[in-house]
């Protein structure tokens, strides 16, 4: 009976310590990840994805989630923060002793169930460990030690091994960052900071090349072009100069009739882009005021002649 009491007590404590360590790691991971995400959102670091062409169309857009405005760049930031947090915590746990020694401090000891129980109950110091190691011994000294240890562990609960302060601090950190992030996503708050512009000003090589666009007719401006894409071709207006405007032989055929079979290429679909990034933001459901009759008459005559 004494043998089973001590063995079950130690095994239950070991299982509880392992469970608590997993809980501590989860809380550390969530608290650090949410804190980094909160900082990234407040600094508007998602705006930096404008400098990455594959991600640029998704910046500022959000999936259709009821009551929440979570942008695609924020979702990407979450995964980046999670990866950074996991890597940072892994390196910290792996090189914790060296970090403390480098800082001139004593590294903390990784306690097991015996260390924690002996720290909470000094009367069990060395005695519980010794009794467990000599469970199979039946000599008088070992039997007496096991009998006294069995009486000492009566009434001791494994819940004492849980560091309630650490769990409480982790829950508070997760709740604090989570509530602020939910408020940001619910209200659609966007930071006024523009880190992408700051980066391109200091490092022009990171700027994404875009074609110049004429704001009046939204057509690409090409100063080196020798002809216009829309409208009549440029004609010299010098007086007294005759210009040959006759078409050369073979003209009048469409481009489709001049293509050879070897010129035909297999159709390759373009990459997927969210519809919101390609759709026009200006659409008028009604005709311009004062021009309704003129527009209707134009299309009516066009239909009669065609």
The per-residue pLDDT for 221 is 45
Q: In whole angstroms, give the CA distance from residue 168 to residue 277.
A: 44
Could you read off the pLDDT of 83-139 as tens digits, one per residue?
999 999 999 988 988 888 888 888 888 888 888 888 888 888 888 888 888 888 878
- pLDDT band of residue 225 (cuts 50, 70, 90) is very low
Of 232, 212, 230, 231, the residue nearest 222 (C-alpha): 212
> 172 pLDDT exceeds 80?
yes
SS (H, E, C) the chain: CHHHHHHHHHHHHHHHHHHHHHHHHHHHHHHHHHHHHHHHHHCCHHHHHHHCCCCHHHCCCCCCCCCCCCCHHHHHHHHHHHHHHHHHHHHHHHCHHHHHHHCCCCCCCCCCHHHHHHHHCHHHCCHHHHHHHCCCCCCHHHHHHHHHHHHHCCCCCHHHHCCHHHHHHHHHHHHHHHHHHHHHHHHCCCCCCCHHHHHHHHCHHHCCCCCCECCCCCCECCCCCCCCCCCCCCCCCCCCCCCCCCCCCCCCCCCCCCCCHHHCCCCCCCCCCCHHHHCCCCCCCCCCCCCHHHHHHHHHHHHHHC
pLDDT on residue 272: 60
Please tell me which residue, 223 or 247, carries the higher pLDDT value: 247
Model confidence at 222, pLDDT cuts 50, 70, 90, reads very low
The pLDDT value given to residue 238: 61
User: Which residues are bridge partners to 213 per DSSP?
Assistant: 220
What is the reported pLDDT for 41?
A: 92
Distance CA 62, CA 277 (A): 11
pTM beyond cutoff 0.75: no
- If you average pLDDT over residues 240-251, what whole number do you get? 64
Question: Residue 220: what are its φ and ψ, rounded to 5°?
Answer: -70, 135
Identify the pLDDT of residue 229. Answer: 46
Mean pLDDT of 174-195: 90
Please tell me which residue, 198 or 78, carries the higher pLDDT value: 78
pLDDT of residue 228: 45
Q: Are 77 and 70 in contact (CB under 8 A)?
A: no
Q: How far apart are CA 250 and CA 160, in angstroms?
A: 96
Whether the predicted pLDDT of 224 surpasses 90: no
* Domain extent listing, the chain: 18-119+163-202
Percent of the chain with pLDDT over 90: 21
User: Would the pLDDT of 264 be above 90?
Assistant: no
Q: Return the bridge partners of 220, or none.
A: 213
Q: Provide the token pair at 237.
A: 């207006």
How many beta carbons lie within 10 A of that of residue 9, not counting itself? 21
Q: Which of the two residues, 29 and 238, has the higher pLDDT score?
A: 29
Q: How far apart are CA 101 and CA 107, in angstroms?
A: 7
User: What is the pLDDT, as a whole number, of residue 169?
Assistant: 94
Q: Check whether 6 has a pLDDT greater than 70.
A: yes
Most confident range (mean pLDDT) of 154-158, 184-188, 287-291 is 184-188
In this structure, the number of other CB atoms found within 10 A of the CB of residue 46 comes to 25
Q: Please tell me which of 67-81, 152-166, 234-248 the model is most confident about, judged by mean pLDDT.
A: 67-81
Lowest mean pLDDT among 120-124, 200-204, 212-216, 271-275: 212-216
- CA atoms 162, 164, 168, 169: torsion sign: negative
User: Which of 75-79, 151-155, 282-286 is the least confident region?
Assistant: 282-286
């Amino acid at each position: 009976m004494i043998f089973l009491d001590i063995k079950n007590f130690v095994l239950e404590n070991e299982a509880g310590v392992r469970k608590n360590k997993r809980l501590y790691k989860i809380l550390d991971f969530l608290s650090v990840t949410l804190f980094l995400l909160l900082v990234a959102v407040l600094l508007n670091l998602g705006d930096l994805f404008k400098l990455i062409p594959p991600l640029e169309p998704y910046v500022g857009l959000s999936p259709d989630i009821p009551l929440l405005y979570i942008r695609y760049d924020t979702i990407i930031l979450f995964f980046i923060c999670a990866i950074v947090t996991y890597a940072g915590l892994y390196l910290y746990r792996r090189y914790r002793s060296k970090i403390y020694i480098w800082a001139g401090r004593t590294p903390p000891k990784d306690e097991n169930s015996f260390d924690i129980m002996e720290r909470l109950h000094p009367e069990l110091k060395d005695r519980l460990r010794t009794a467990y190691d000599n469970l199979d011994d039946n000599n008088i000294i070992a039997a007496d030690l096991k009998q006294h240890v069995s009486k000492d562990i009566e009434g001791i609960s494994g819940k004492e091994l849980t560091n309630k302060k650490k769990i409480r601090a982790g829950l508070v950190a997760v709740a604090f960052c989570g509530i602020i992030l939910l408020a940001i996503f619910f209200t659609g708050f966007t930071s006024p900071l523009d880190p992408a512009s700051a980066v391109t000003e200091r490092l022009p090589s990171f700027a994404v090349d875009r074609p110049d666009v004429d704001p009046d007719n939204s057509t690409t401006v090409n100063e080196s072009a020798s002809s216009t894409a829309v409208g009549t071709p440029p004609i010299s207006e010098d007086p007294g100069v005759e210009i040959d405007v006759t078409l050369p032989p073979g003209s009048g055929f469409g481009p489709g009739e001049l293509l050879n079979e070897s010129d035909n290429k297999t159709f390759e679909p373009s990459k997927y882009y969210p519809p919101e990034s390609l759709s026009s933001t200006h659409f008028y459901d009604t005709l311009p005021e004062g021009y309704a009759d003129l527009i209707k008459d134009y299309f009516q005559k066009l239909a009669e002649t065609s």
